[in-house]
Chain A
Amino acid sequence: MGYLFPDPHPISMDCREFSEKHLAFVDDTLAGIELVRMQRHTAECDTCARQDAKVRRALLLFRNLPPIEPSTGFSDRLEARLQEAHQNDLLLETTRVNLKRGVLAATFATLASALMLAYIGNTLYQTEVARDVVMPPVVAIATEPDLAPITTSTPAIVASASAGLTIWPVALFAEEAPVQFAHSRFEMAKLDR
């Protein structure tokens, strides 16, 4: 039956598997059976045994390095730096608050300016529009004034000249012609004098 169902954890191990599991082997985190297989491999394989010993010895040296201690002024310097950081934080906070106020004020001012500009622009635009308005053409209709007929007792005499004459003799004739007002009222006024 054994050969039909091979053991999932054969006791022997090759060097590749040993190398893969060496980390856990050194850290002592392998399960019991794995640990036994690793130990057996080190007993059988000189190369892996040497490598294992080399790593363990090196780690021992490193782990036993003496720890260094902070220098004598370390705490004082840290204290000073913490104070400084605290002050800076406070300053930063104050600046941030002031900045926030400033930003608010600036936003408000900008908004107000924008509104004002918009209003002015709007007004100007409307004026311009008014100038450019093209009204539909309107046909002007003017009724001819009714000329009242001259109602004088004596008909008016109007100097006239035929169109065939030159202008200056006409003017001479006009001077010599008896002057009579076309309107009777004026005539009346002359008579009164």
Chain B
Amino acid sequence: MADIVRKKVVSVEGATVRERLQAMDDSAVVTAFLGGEERAFSELVTRYQTRLLNFVYRTIGDREKAEDLVQEVFIRVYRHLHRFDRSKKFSTWVYTIASNLAKNELRNRSRNPLVLFQTVQKNFQDEDRPLQFEDTTSRPDDMYRKRHLREVVEESVAKLPEHHRHVFVLRELEGKSYEEIAEITECNLGTVKSRLNRARNSFAEIIAPYVD
């Protein structure tokens, strides 16, 4: 009986802690983790895993590799969180780590030309991609059109030069400010704006024949 009560108390405590962590901003969660609250790290993972996965996936185009890289990001965060300068934004720091890993991956891939962005992406499209986002109430031809459009968009992004794609994804998908992008990509503000402008125009040019 006492055990049951104790378990109940622990689980209630756990739920309370989780709720408390959920209500905190990133900085407070980081502080909690550094203060010994291990569950705070799970909260950080929950907050960032999908965002980082989308960012890395749109940058490198390989779902499986993107998951590996996101895990690597969290491992680095776990190991080096004590070194994080808490006067800065946690999200910028975590995106910087992800961005560097994605860049390294692309660099390694360019050294090994057997693995191409498009090839990897195409393989993924057909098999691994969850289809929940597709409205099952739609007519089959609509579903086909949507899937085709998505493929076209992803292929068009993949055609952008690496440094343009990086900035483009951070801005258009993650909604980062120019300043944050400059910090993440370690470029100056002017370069970020110039790259983003070029990336937008190039992307529009690439995709135009498919959507007109």
Interface positions of A (Cβ within 8 A of B): 22-23, 26, 51, 54-55, 57-59, 61-63, 65-71, 74-75, 77-78, 81-82, 85-86, 89
Contacts and interface: CB of A to CB of B under 8 A. Distances in A.
Given A23-B197, A66-B133, A67-B50, A61 B149 contact: yes
6 contacts: A58-B203, A68-B53, A69-B50, A74-B67, A78-B71, A86-B78
A97 B67 CA distance: 34
Contacts of A65: 58, 150, 153-154, 173
Interface of B: 45, 49-50, 53-54, 57-58, 63, 67, 70-71, 74-75, 78-79, 128-130, 133, 149-150, 153-154, 156-157, 172-173, 193, 196-197, 200-201, 203-205, 207-208, 211
A23 B173 contact: no
B79 A89 contact: yes
- Name B's interface SS: helix
Contact of B208 (A54, A59, A63, A81): A54
Q: Which of A26, A51, A62, A74 has the most CB of B within 10 A?
A: A62
A-B pairs, 7 with minimum CB distance:
A66-B133, A58-B204, A55-B204, A54-B204, A23-B197, A58-B207, A85-B75
Nearest to B150: A65
Nearest to B51: A67
B74 A82 contact: yes
B54 A67 contact: yes
A76 B157 CA distance: 31
Contacts of A78: 45, 71, 74
Contacts of A68: 50, 53-54, 57, 63, 129-130
